[in-house]
Amino acid sequence: MSKSSNTFWHQATITRSNREQLNRHGAAILWFTGLSGSGKSTLAHAVEDELYRRGCRTAVLDGDNVRHGLCGDLGFSEDDRTENIRRIGHVAALFVDTGVIVLTAFISPFKVDRDRVRMIVEKEQDFIEVYCNCPIEVCEQRDVKGLYNRARKGEISNFTGVSSPYEEPDNADLVVDTGTEALATCVEQVVDFLMERGLIPEL
């Protein structure tokens, strides 16, 4: 909510429905959540590649990239993580209003923060929570940056899965086993889900 009483929402003449009609597909937020190393970014970009091939208008918001600009002033305390997700939620909602399928790849460890994003969008079905289910042991094996090792040594504080909790979704819209399934299989599952929802047409 704005702190100023002197700002007013300007209603656009070109609506989301107009843009979806032009795009020939629906708009939504695909919210990829999971531990560091669970494959969120890899899957989000691979899904975008497939959607692009199908002629869809997309955008990927990646956790690390966003912290270089929009959220560069935030750390990793619980409050900062909450603010990080709040900002991303509003940016993603703006993309949806422009008729875009926006794919976000954020650990977003707290249920309440993910639920707040779901409440930001116009319709609940605009927010699709995709849980990248991957055992922490596999995530650590994939960790080429050595972040888990550093966190276990106490060199990194508030690290999700080690010194800070990750709250698994209770009722994710889609659960993808990124720890065991091939990337192509995971992409197919996400794309099939979008077709079942009627967001994108079948080929």
Structure tokens that stand for 89 in this block? 């939620």
Helix (H, G, I), strand (E, B), or coil: what is residue 60?
strand
The answer to whether 23 and 95 are in contact (CB under 8 A) is no
Is 2 assigned a catalytic role? no
Q: Which residues contact 103 (CB under 8 A, 6 or more apart)?
A: 30, 32, 44, 45, 47, 48, 58, 59, 60, 61
Question: 126: how many CB neighbours lie within 10 A of its CB?
Answer: 20
The answer to whether 178 and 132 are in contact (CB under 8 A) is yes
User: Which residue is associated with the tokens 């970009």?
Assistant: 45
Determine the residue type at 181.
E
Helix (H, G, I), strand (E, B), or coil: what is residue 166?
coil
Q: Which of 36, 38, 108, 164 is catalytic?
A: 108
Give the whole-angstrom CA distance, residue 191 versus residue 201: 10
Catalytic positions are 108
